[in-house]
Structure 1
Protein backbone atom coordinates (compact mmCIF):
# COMPACT_ATOMS: atom_id res chain seq x y z
CA UNK A 1 0.00 0.00 0.00
CA UNK A 2 2.87 2.42 0.71
CA UNK A 3 4.08 2.10 -2.88
CA UNK A 4 0.88 2.88 -4.74
CA UNK A 5 1.18 5.50 -7.46
CA UNK A 6 -0.96 7.91 -5.39
CA UNK A 7 1.33 7.55 -2.38
CA UNK A 8 4.50 7.91 -4.48
CA UNK A 9 3.24 11.13 -6.08
CA UNK A 10 2.09 12.48 -2.71
CA UNK A 11 5.60 11.71 -1.41
CA UNK A 12 7.11 13.86 -4.17
CA UNK A 13 4.93 16.79 -3.12
CA UNK A 14 5.50 16.35 0.60
CA UNK A 15 9.21 15.51 0.70
CA UNK A 16 10.72 16.95 -2.47
CA UNK A 17 8.76 20.12 -3.25
CA UNK A 18 6.76 21.28 -0.20
CA UNK A 19 9.77 22.68 1.65
CA UNK A 20 7.75 24.65 4.20
CA UNK A 21 5.47 21.64 4.89
CA UNK A 22 2.24 23.60 4.64
CA UNK A 23 0.51 20.95 2.53
CA UNK A 24 0.56 22.71 -0.84
CA UNK A 25 3.06 24.00 -3.35
CA UNK A 26 3.61 27.66 -4.11
CA UNK A 27 6.37 29.92 -5.46
CA UNK A 28 8.02 30.20 -2.03
CA UNK A 29 8.71 26.45 -1.96
CA UNK A 30 10.68 26.78 -5.17
CA UNK A 31 12.60 29.83 -3.95
CA UNK A 32 13.62 27.76 -0.92
CA UNK A 33 14.48 24.81 -3.15
CA UNK A 34 16.84 27.05 -5.13
CA UNK A 35 18.70 28.07 -1.98
CA UNK A 36 18.76 24.50 -0.65
CA UNK A 37 20.12 23.16 -3.93
CA UNK A 38 22.80 25.84 -4.07
CA UNK A 39 23.98 25.20 -0.50
CA UNK A 40 23.90 21.41 -0.82
CA UNK A 41 25.73 21.31 -4.14
CA UNK A 42 28.28 23.78 -2.77
CA UNK A 43 28.65 21.75 0.45
CA UNK A 44 27.85 24.86 2.46
CA UNK A 45 29.08 27.44 -0.04
CA UNK A 46 26.41 29.54 -1.74
CA UNK A 47 28.01 31.45 -4.59
CA UNK A 48 25.92 34.10 -6.29
CA UNK A 49 26.42 32.46 -9.71
CA UNK A 50 25.28 29.02 -8.51
CA UNK A 51 22.33 30.52 -6.63
CA UNK A 52 21.27 32.42 -9.74
CA UNK A 53 21.46 29.19 -11.77
CA UNK A 54 19.26 27.35 -9.26
CA UNK A 55 16.83 30.25 -8.97
CA UNK A 56 16.35 30.07 -12.74
CA UNK A 57 15.86 26.27 -12.68
CA UNK A 58 13.43 26.33 -9.76
CA UNK A 59 11.46 29.35 -10.98
CA UNK A 60 11.09 27.64 -14.36
CA UNK A 61 9.98 24.46 -12.62
CA UNK A 62 7.43 26.36 -10.53
CA UNK A 63 6.05 28.15 -13.59
CA UNK A 64 5.76 24.89 -15.51
CA UNK A 65 4.16 23.04 -12.60
CA UNK A 66 1.77 25.95 -11.98
CA UNK A 67 0.79 25.96 -15.64
CA UNK A 68 0.18 22.20 -15.57
CA UNK A 69 -1.36 21.86 -12.12
CA UNK A 70 -2.80 25.09 -10.71
CA UNK A 71 -6.24 24.40 -12.12
CA UNK A 72 -8.05 26.97 -9.98
CA UNK A 73 -5.31 29.60 -10.56
CA UNK A 74 -4.98 30.49 -6.87
CA UNK A 75 -1.16 30.37 -6.81
CA UNK A 76 -1.18 27.17 -4.75
CA UNK A 77 -1.07 23.56 -5.90
CA UNK A 78 -2.71 20.92 -3.76
CA UNK A 79 -1.60 17.30 -3.72
CA UNK A 80 -4.68 16.39 -5.77
CA UNK A 81 -3.93 19.04 -8.38
CA UNK A 82 -0.33 17.82 -8.58
CA UNK A 83 -1.48 14.20 -9.00
CA UNK A 84 -3.78 15.20 -11.83
CA UNK A 85 -0.98 17.09 -13.56
CA UNK A 86 1.46 14.18 -13.18
CA UNK A 87 -1.18 11.81 -14.50
CA UNK A 88 -1.71 14.07 -17.52
CA UNK A 89 1.95 14.79 -18.30
CA UNK A 90 3.98 11.83 -16.98
CA UNK A 91 2.00 8.60 -16.63
CA UNK A 92 3.06 6.10 -19.26
CA UNK A 93 5.90 8.30 -20.51
CA UNK A 94 9.67 7.92 -20.60
CA UNK A 95 12.02 10.49 -19.09
CA UNK A 96 12.65 12.16 -22.47
CA UNK A 97 8.92 12.92 -22.75
CA UNK A 98 8.70 14.69 -19.37
CA UNK A 99 8.26 18.47 -19.20
CA UNK A 100 11.62 20.24 -19.55
CA UNK A 101 11.61 21.94 -16.16
CA UNK A 102 10.86 18.64 -14.43
CA UNK A 103 13.85 17.09 -16.17
CA UNK A 104 16.01 20.00 -14.94
CA UNK A 105 14.75 19.39 -11.39
CA UNK A 106 15.55 15.68 -11.61
CA UNK A 107 19.09 16.45 -12.75
CA UNK A 108 19.64 18.99 -9.96
CA UNK A 109 18.21 16.54 -7.43
CA UNK A 110 20.76 13.97 -8.58
CA UNK A 111 23.56 16.50 -8.06
CA UNK A 112 22.36 17.21 -4.51
CA UNK A 113 22.38 13.51 -3.63
CA UNK A 114 25.75 12.85 -5.32
CA UNK A 115 27.68 14.45 -2.46
CA UNK A 116 31.15 13.52 -3.69
CA UNK A 117 30.29 14.60 -7.27
CA UNK A 118 31.66 11.41 -8.81
CA UNK A 119 28.63 10.92 -11.06
CA UNK A 120 27.28 7.96 -9.08
CA UNK A 121 24.88 7.83 -6.13
CA UNK A 122 26.38 5.17 -3.88
CA UNK A 123 24.82 3.53 -0.87
CA UNK A 124 26.29 6.07 1.58
CA UNK A 125 24.85 9.01 -0.37
CA UNK A 126 21.51 7.22 -0.69
CA UNK A 127 21.46 6.61 3.08
CA UNK A 128 22.25 10.26 3.76
CA UNK A 129 19.44 11.40 1.46
CA UNK A 130 16.92 9.02 3.05
CA UNK A 131 17.60 9.90 6.69
CA UNK A 132 17.23 13.62 5.94
CA UNK A 133 13.59 13.11 4.99
CA UNK A 134 12.22 10.21 6.98
CA UNK A 135 12.40 8.38 10.26
CA UNK A 136 14.11 5.02 9.85
CA UNK A 137 15.35 2.92 12.76
CA UNK A 138 17.25 0.21 10.85
CA UNK A 139 19.99 0.85 8.28
CA UNK A 140 19.26 -2.53 6.69
CA UNK A 141 15.87 -1.24 5.53
CA UNK A 142 17.59 1.60 3.69
CA UNK A 143 20.30 -0.66 2.26
CA UNK A 144 17.70 -3.18 1.07
CA UNK A 145 15.76 -0.37 -0.63
CA UNK A 146 18.95 0.83 -2.37
CA UNK A 147 19.91 -2.66 -3.49
CA UNK A 148 16.44 -3.24 -4.94
CA UNK A 149 17.05 -0.37 -7.37
CA UNK A 150 20.27 -1.75 -8.80
CA UNK A 151 20.64 -3.75 -11.97
CA UNK A 152 23.86 -5.50 -13.02
CA UNK A 153 25.28 -2.36 -14.67
CA UNK A 154 24.52 -0.31 -11.54
CA UNK A 155 26.36 -2.82 -9.38
CA UNK A 156 29.41 -2.63 -11.68
CA UNK A 157 29.68 1.14 -11.21
CA UNK A 158 28.76 1.05 -7.51
CA UNK A 159 25.38 2.77 -7.66
CA UNK A 160 23.12 4.94 -9.78
CA UNK A 161 24.45 7.10 -12.61
CA UNK A 162 22.55 10.19 -13.74
CA UNK A 163 20.97 8.37 -16.68
CA UNK A 164 19.86 5.50 -14.48
CA UNK A 165 18.51 7.93 -11.84
CA UNK A 166 16.55 9.73 -14.58
CA UNK A 167 15.12 6.42 -15.76
CA UNK A 168 14.11 5.41 -12.25
CA UNK A 169 12.65 8.83 -11.43
CA UNK A 170 10.54 8.60 -14.58
CA UNK A 171 9.34 5.13 -13.53
CA UNK A 172 8.55 6.43 -10.04
CA UNK A 173 6.11 8.96 -11.52
CA UNK A 174 4.97 7.29 -14.72
CA UNK A 175 4.31 3.67 -13.77
CA UNK A 176 1.11 3.11 -11.88
CA UNK A 177 2.13 -0.41 -10.87
CA UNK A 178 2.66 -0.62 -7.12
CA UNK A 179 5.61 -2.96 -7.64
CA UNK A 180 7.61 -0.95 -10.17
CA UNK A 181 11.37 -1.21 -9.73
CA UNK A 182 11.68 2.50 -8.88
CA UNK A 183 9.37 2.33 -5.86
CA UNK A 184 12.38 2.64 -3.49
CA UNK A 185 14.06 5.54 -5.31
CA UNK A 186 13.63 7.78 -2.28
CA UNK A 187 13.91 5.07 0.33
CA UNK A 188 11.40 2.97 2.22
CA UNK A 189 8.17 4.94 1.93
CA UNK A 190 5.51 5.12 4.60
CA UNK A 191 1.81 5.73 4.16
Structure 2
Protein backbone atom coordinates (compact mmCIF):
# COMPACT_ATOMS: atom_id res chain seq x y z
CA UNK A 1 0.00 0.00 0.00
CA UNK A 2 1.35 3.43 -0.94
CA UNK A 3 0.66 4.93 2.49
CA UNK A 4 1.95 2.10 4.66
CA UNK A 5 4.53 3.04 7.26
CA UNK A 6 7.17 1.00 5.41
CA UNK A 7 6.53 2.86 2.17
CA UNK A 8 6.52 6.24 3.92
CA UNK A 9 9.88 5.58 5.54
CA UNK A 10 11.29 4.25 2.25
CA UNK A 11 10.05 7.48 0.63
CA UNK A 12 12.03 9.56 3.12
CA UNK A 13 15.18 7.63 2.26
CA UNK A 14 14.66 7.75 -1.49
CA UNK A 15 13.36 11.29 -1.96
CA UNK A 16 14.69 13.30 0.98
CA UNK A 17 18.08 11.78 1.84
CA UNK A 18 19.41 9.58 -0.99
CA UNK A 19 20.45 12.50 -3.19
CA UNK A 20 22.67 10.43 -5.48
CA UNK A 21 19.93 7.79 -5.95
CA UNK A 22 22.20 4.82 -5.32
CA UNK A 23 19.74 3.08 -3.01
CA UNK A 24 21.52 3.66 0.30
CA UNK A 25 22.62 6.54 2.50
CA UNK A 26 26.18 7.60 3.13
CA UNK A 27 28.10 10.77 4.01
CA UNK A 28 28.17 11.81 0.34
CA UNK A 29 24.37 12.22 0.34
CA UNK A 30 24.55 14.62 3.26
CA UNK A 31 27.38 16.69 1.73
CA UNK A 32 25.16 17.05 -1.35
CA UNK A 33 22.12 17.84 0.81
CA UNK A 34 24.02 20.74 2.37
CA UNK A 35 24.71 22.28 -1.03
CA UNK A 36 21.17 21.63 -2.29
CA UNK A 37 19.65 23.20 0.82
CA UNK A 38 21.90 26.25 0.60
CA UNK A 39 21.05 26.85 -3.06
CA UNK A 40 17.32 26.23 -2.68
CA UNK A 41 16.88 28.33 0.42
CA UNK A 42 19.01 31.06 -1.14
CA UNK A 43 16.95 30.89 -4.36
CA UNK A 44 20.15 30.31 -6.31
CA UNK A 45 22.51 32.19 -4.01
CA UNK A 46 24.97 30.09 -2.04
CA UNK A 47 26.96 32.20 0.38
CA UNK A 48 29.95 30.60 2.07
CA UNK A 49 28.50 31.33 5.51
CA UNK A 50 25.12 29.72 4.74
CA UNK A 51 26.81 26.74 3.07
CA UNK A 52 28.99 26.24 6.13
CA UNK A 53 25.86 26.35 8.34
CA UNK A 54 24.14 23.69 6.23
CA UNK A 55 27.24 21.54 6.05
CA UNK A 56 27.25 21.51 9.84
CA UNK A 57 23.50 20.69 10.02
CA UNK A 58 23.61 17.94 7.39
CA UNK A 59 26.84 16.31 8.58
CA UNK A 60 25.48 16.32 12.14
CA UNK A 61 22.35 14.67 10.77
CA UNK A 62 24.46 12.06 8.96
CA UNK A 63 26.47 11.33 12.12
CA UNK A 64 23.30 10.95 14.18
CA UNK A 65 21.61 8.76 11.57
CA UNK A 66 24.76 6.65 11.20
CA UNK A 67 24.92 6.20 14.96
CA UNK A 68 21.26 5.14 15.07
CA UNK A 69 21.05 3.13 11.85
CA UNK A 70 24.42 1.86 10.61
CA UNK A 71 24.04 -1.40 12.47
CA UNK A 72 26.82 -3.21 10.59
CA UNK A 73 29.15 -0.16 10.76
CA UNK A 74 30.01 -0.25 7.05
CA UNK A 75 29.53 3.48 6.44
CA UNK A 76 26.29 3.00 4.52
CA UNK A 77 22.68 2.77 5.62
CA UNK A 78 20.22 0.63 3.73
CA UNK A 79 16.50 1.29 3.62
CA UNK A 80 15.98 -1.60 6.03
CA UNK A 81 18.54 -0.24 8.50
CA UNK A 82 16.89 3.19 8.29
CA UNK A 83 13.46 1.68 8.91
CA UNK A 84 14.77 -0.10 11.98
CA UNK A 85 16.29 3.13 13.31
CA UNK A 86 13.05 5.06 12.72
CA UNK A 87 11.16 2.26 14.45
CA UNK A 88 13.49 2.58 17.44
CA UNK A 89 13.68 6.41 17.55
CA UNK A 90 10.44 7.82 16.16
CA UNK A 91 7.49 5.43 16.22
CA UNK A 92 5.05 6.44 18.91
CA UNK A 93 6.93 9.65 19.70
CA UNK A 94 6.11 13.31 19.36
CA UNK A 95 8.32 15.72 17.45
CA UNK A 96 9.93 17.00 20.67
CA UNK A 97 11.23 13.48 21.36
CA UNK A 98 12.88 13.02 17.95
CA UNK A 99 16.69 12.99 17.69
CA UNK A 100 18.06 16.55 17.63
CA UNK A 101 19.69 16.40 14.19
CA UNK A 102 16.48 15.04 12.66
CA UNK A 103 14.58 17.98 14.13
CA UNK A 104 17.13 20.35 12.57
CA UNK A 105 16.61 18.65 9.19
CA UNK A 106 12.83 18.95 9.49
CA UNK A 107 13.08 22.65 10.24
CA UNK A 108 15.49 23.15 7.33
CA UNK A 109 13.18 21.22 5.02
CA UNK A 110 10.29 23.49 6.02
CA UNK A 111 12.37 26.57 5.17
CA UNK A 112 13.22 25.13 1.74
CA UNK A 113 9.54 24.54 0.95
CA UNK A 114 8.46 27.95 2.30
CA UNK A 115 9.69 29.75 -0.82
CA UNK A 116 8.20 33.15 0.02
CA UNK A 117 9.49 32.93 3.63
CA UNK A 118 6.17 33.97 5.17
CA UNK A 119 6.26 31.14 7.73
CA UNK A 120 3.46 29.17 6.04
CA UNK A 121 3.61 26.47 3.39
CA UNK A 122 0.74 27.38 1.09
CA UNK A 123 -0.74 25.31 -1.69
CA UNK A 124 1.53 26.79 -4.38
CA UNK A 125 4.66 25.97 -2.38
CA UNK A 126 3.35 22.48 -1.65
CA UNK A 127 2.68 21.93 -5.36
CA UNK A 128 6.19 23.11 -6.24
CA UNK A 129 7.72 20.76 -3.68
CA UNK A 130 5.70 17.78 -4.94
CA UNK A 131 6.44 18.19 -8.65
CA UNK A 132 10.18 18.46 -8.00
CA UNK A 133 10.38 14.80 -7.04
CA UNK A 134 7.29 13.08 -8.46
CA UNK A 135 5.83 12.44 -11.87
CA UNK A 136 2.25 13.68 -11.67
CA UNK A 137 -0.17 14.60 -14.42
CA UNK A 138 -3.11 16.05 -12.48
CA UNK A 139 -2.89 19.09 -10.20
CA UNK A 140 -6.11 18.00 -8.46
CA UNK A 141 -4.29 15.01 -6.95
CA UNK A 142 -1.71 17.34 -5.42
CA UNK A 143 -4.34 19.81 -4.22
CA UNK A 144 -6.42 17.04 -2.66
CA UNK A 145 -3.33 15.75 -0.84
CA UNK A 146 -2.58 19.24 0.49
CA UNK A 147 -6.14 19.85 1.61
CA UNK A 148 -6.23 16.52 3.45
CA UNK A 149 -3.42 17.79 5.70
CA UNK A 150 -5.21 20.92 6.80
CA UNK A 151 -7.26 21.39 9.93
CA UNK A 152 -9.46 24.44 10.52
CA UNK A 153 -6.59 26.41 12.07
CA UNK A 154 -4.34 25.63 9.07
CA UNK A 155 -7.06 26.85 6.70
CA UNK A 156 -7.35 30.14 8.63
CA UNK A 157 -3.57 30.60 8.38
CA UNK A 158 -3.45 29.70 4.68
CA UNK A 159 -1.45 26.50 5.05
CA UNK A 160 1.06 24.76 7.29
CA UNK A 161 3.11 26.67 9.86
CA UNK A 162 6.43 25.31 11.08
CA UNK A 163 4.89 23.88 14.25
CA UNK A 164 2.15 22.15 12.26
CA UNK A 165 4.69 20.83 9.74
CA UNK A 166 6.76 19.44 12.62
CA UNK A 167 3.68 17.75 14.06
CA UNK A 168 2.78 16.22 10.69
CA UNK A 169 6.35 15.12 9.99
CA UNK A 170 6.40 13.36 13.37
CA UNK A 171 3.14 11.60 12.44
CA UNK A 172 4.49 10.69 8.98
CA UNK A 173 7.39 8.79 10.57
CA UNK A 174 6.04 8.02 14.02
CA UNK A 175 2.50 6.80 13.38
CA UNK A 176 2.61 3.28 11.99
CA UNK A 177 -1.02 3.27 10.83
CA UNK A 178 -1.80 3.49 7.11
CA UNK A 179 -4.29 6.31 7.54
CA UNK A 180 -2.82 8.95 9.83
CA UNK A 181 -3.48 12.54 8.81
CA UNK A 182 0.14 13.08 7.71
CA UNK A 183 0.27 10.44 4.95
CA UNK A 184 0.12 13.17 2.29
CA UNK A 185 2.81 15.41 3.82
CA UNK A 186 5.00 14.95 0.75
CA UNK A 187 2.18 14.56 -1.77
CA UNK A 188 0.49 11.54 -3.28
CA UNK A 189 2.94 8.69 -2.72
CA UNK A 190 3.62 5.80 -5.04
CA UNK A 191 4.72 2.31 -4.11
Whether TM-score is above 0.5 comes out as yes
Distance 2:4 2:18 in 1: 20
User: What residue is the counterpart of 2:131 in the other structure?
Assistant: 131
User: What residue is the counterpart of 1:166 in the other structure?
Assistant: 166
Unpaired stretches in structure 2, ≥5 consecutive residues: none
**Size of the alignment, in residue pairs?**
191
SS in 2 for 1:143: helix
Any idea what the Cα deviations from partners look like across 1:127-154, whole Å, max 9, x if unmatched?
0000000000000000000000000000
RMSD of equivalent CA atoms: 0.2
User: What residue is the counterpart of 2:179 in the other structure?
Assistant: 179
Deviation (angstroms), 1:125: 0.2
Distance 1:90 1:161 in 2: 21
Distance 1:30 1:153 in 2: 34
Please say if 1:62 is aligned against 2:62.
yes
Distance 1:37 1:153 in 2: 29
User: What residue is the counterpart of 1:13 in the other structure?
Assistant: 13
TM-score normalised by the chain length of structure 2? 1.00
How does 1:83-162 map onto structure 2 within 5 Å? Answer: 83-162=83-162
SS in 1 for 2:80: helix
User: What residue is the counterpart of 1:45 in the other structure?
Assistant: 45
Any idea what the Cα deviations from partners look like across 1:103-127, whole Å, max 9, x if unmatched?
0000000000000000000000000
Distance 1:143 1:85 in 2: 32
Aligned structure 1 segments of 4 or more residues deviating by more than 4 angstroms: none
Unpaired stretches in structure 1, ≥5 consecutive residues: none
Distance 1:32 1:156 in 2: 36
Any idea what the Cα deviations from partners look like across 1:137-182, whole Å, max 9, x if unmatched?
0000000000000000000010000000000000000000000000
User: What residue is the counterpart of 1:31 in the other structure?
Assistant: 31
Distance 2:153 2:73 in 1: 44
Distance 2:9 2:177 in 1: 13
Distance 2:9 2:169 in 1: 11
TM-score normalised by the chain length of structure 1? 1.00
Distance 1:87 1:67 in 2: 14
Distance 2:66 2:86 in 1: 12
User: What residue is the counterpart of 2:76 in the other structure?
Assistant: 76
